[in-house]
Structure 1
Amino acid sequence: MKIAVTTASGHLGSSIINRLKATIGKENTIGIARTPDKAKHLGVEIRKGDYNSKADFISALEGIDAVLLVSGMDHPDNRIQQHRHVIEAAQANGVQKIVYTSIYGAEEGNAFSPIVASNRQTEADIRQSGLKWAIGRNGIYIEPDLEYIDTYIAEGGIINCAAEGKCGYTSRDELAYAYFKLLTEDSLQGGTYNLFGETITQQQLAEAINRHYNTNLAFKNISVDEYIANRQDALGDFLGTVIGGIYEGIRTGKFDGRSDFEKVASRSHKTLDEMIGDYRLVV
């Protein structure tokens, strides 16, 4: 069984490829990347695939049994058609199964919602494709917060607009395990699964970081408008608005829900402390 993974050079794509290499073998694992040279270090066959080119994916998915479609990072208006290029190429090549990395969150009500809504449209396109399928809805990655610790220290704490809202965090390694299961376990076909660990507040996140890094961080809440403006100044209008919308969603309970990780993985999701410990071992 040959399995292809899109955006192979990205953090999540490469984590999933490494998991597949260790389980089904490098000869059965294919990476697809817009710039193949950026994924050569993964040690598997890398094929060219730009989400804007259906022709790329017609070639890239030749001889593939299952494909993992990693959600693109473009503007929501563009992503639906980009994902359709992969779905249509999979149909044309007789790919048996498609698995999609979607995201947990609210389809309306905050600045992140357009991203979520575009993912929901891709979910609908996959369900209607005639292919076997499974969909994961990812929680928020823990890694960006850990990569940002020096900035948190410099700023005097974790500062955002999440208030007392809870969020289900996950890690790329935990997601890689879950998507390996979704790609290879027939019993999970036709399901949509929320993938994250126990939901926590930003103050609980700060306390966990303090335990592992001997820091003295605290959480400071600010208004939604102030936080979005802050992120726009730092990251530009599009990405700043998206990040601001995520924390607005946390504030209003849109990331506090039920996880299906244990059903998918046949084990509990790692705890926050375990994820931070794992991260420290490899960084």
Structure 2
Amino acid sequence: MKFAITTASGNLGSTIIKHLKSVTDNSNIIGIARTPEKAAFLDVEIRKGDYNSKEQFLEALKGVDILILISGMDHPDKRIQQHRNVIEAAVENGVSKIVYTSIMGAEKGNGFSPVVASNRQTEEDIKQSGMQWAIGRNGIYLEPDVEYIETYIKEGGIINSAGEGKCGYTSRPELAAAYFNLAIKEEMNGRTVNLFGTAITQQELVEALNKAYNTNMTYTSIGVQEYTELRKKALGDFIGSVIGGIYEGIKSGVFSGDSHYEEVTGRPHKNIDELISLMK
């Protein structure tokens, strides 16, 4: 059985490939990358594939049985057609199953919503493709918070607009295990599942980081508009609005709820302390 994984050189794509290498022979894995040289470190077959080119994917997906499609990072109004290029090429190549890395969140109401809405359209395109499919909706990555720890310490803690809202965090290795299971388990066909750990507040996140790093940081909640403006000033309008929208979504509860992680993988999702420990 041949697996293909898009954006192979990216963080999630490469982590999924590393997981696949631990459970199947390298010859069964095809990585697809816009710039193949950047994925050479993975030591599997790498084929060229740019989401903007259906023609490249018609070539890249030859002989593939199961495709894991990593959601693109372009502007939401471009992603839908980019993903369609891949889906159509998969259909024309006779790919039997497609697994898509989607996202939790609200389709309307905050600055992250356009990203979520574009993912929902791709989910619908996949469901209408005629292939077998499985869709995962990822929780929020914990990695950025851990990678930002020095800044948090310097600033004395975490400041955002999430308030008392709870967020289901996850990590790339946890997601890699989940997407492998979504790919191989027939009982997951036709399922849309949420993938994250036990939802926690920002105060609980700070406490976990303090415990792991022996620090004394605090959490400060500020207004949604104030925080969004700070992010836009630091990161530009688009990314700033997206980040602001994520924390507005946390505040309103759209990143909590039921997780299907244990049903998918057969084990509980690692807790916040375990995730941080593995990232240190």
TM range (shorter): over 0.9
Q: Does 1:109 align with 2:112?
A: no
Structure 1 residue 267: Cα displacement: 0.8
Secondary structure of 2:85's partner? helix
- Amino acid in structure 2 at the alignment position of 1:183: A
Q: Which residue pairs with 1:89 in the alignment?
A: 89
2-structure distance, mates of 1:236, 1:26: 41
Structure 1 residue 89: Cα displacement: 0.3
Q: Which residue pairs with 2:179 in the alignment?
A: 179
1-structure distance, mates of 2:32, 2:226: 39
1-structure distance, mates of 2:144, 2:30: 27
Q: Does 1:252 align with 2:252?
A: yes
Aligned Cα RMSD in Å?
Answer: 0.6
Q: Does 1:72 align with 2:72?
A: yes
1-structure distance, mates of 2:121, 2:263: 24
2-structure distance, mates of 1:276, 1:236: 29
2-structure distance, mates of 1:155, 1:233: 17
Secondary structure of 1:136's partner? strand
2-structure distance, mates of 1:191, 1:256: 19
Secondary structure of 1:200's partner? coil
Structure 1 residue 229: Cα displacement: 1.0
Structure 1 runs (4+) greater than 6 angstroms displaced: none
Q: Does 1:238 align with 2:206?
A: no
Q: Which residue pairs with 1:224 in the alignment?
A: 224
Structure 1 residue 99: Cα displacement: 0.2
Q: Which residue pairs with 1:214 in the alignment?
A: 214
- Amino acid in structure 1 at the alignment position of 2:168: G
1-structure distance, mates of 2:279, 2:159: 22
Structure 1 residue 31: Cα displacement: 0.5
Q: Does 1:39 align with 2:39?
A: yes
Q: Report matched runs for 1:150-189 at 5 Å.
A: 150-189=150-189
- Amino acid in structure 2 at the alignment position of 1:47: R
Structure 1 residue 253: Cα displacement: 1.0
Secondary structure of 2:163's partner? coil
Calculate the TM-score normalised by the size of structure 1: 0.98
- Amino acid in structure 2 at the alignment position of 1:83: H
2-structure distance, mates of 1:257, 1:132: 26
- Amino acid in structure 2 at the alignment position of 1:246: I
- Amino acid in structure 2 at the alignment position of 1:21: K
2-structure distance, mates of 1:50, 1:103: 21
Q: Which residue pairs with 1:190 in the alignment?
A: 190
| Number of positions where the alignment pairs a residue of Structure 1 with one of Structure 2 | 280
Structure 1 unaligned regions, length at least 5: none
Q: Does 1:48 align with 2:81?
A: no
2-structure distance, mates of 1:213, 1:268: 25
Q: Deviations over 1:25-46 (max 9, x none)?
A: 1110110011111110011111
- Amino acid in structure 2 at the alignment position of 1:26: N
- Amino acid in structure 2 at the alignment position of 1:113: S
Structure 2 unaligned regions, length at least 5: none
Q: Which residue pairs with 2:18 in the alignment?
A: 18
Secondary structure of 1:199's partner? coil
Q: Deviations over 1:134-183 (max 9, x none)?
A: 00000000100000001111222101000000000001000000000011
2-structure distance, mates of 1:21, 1:126: 26
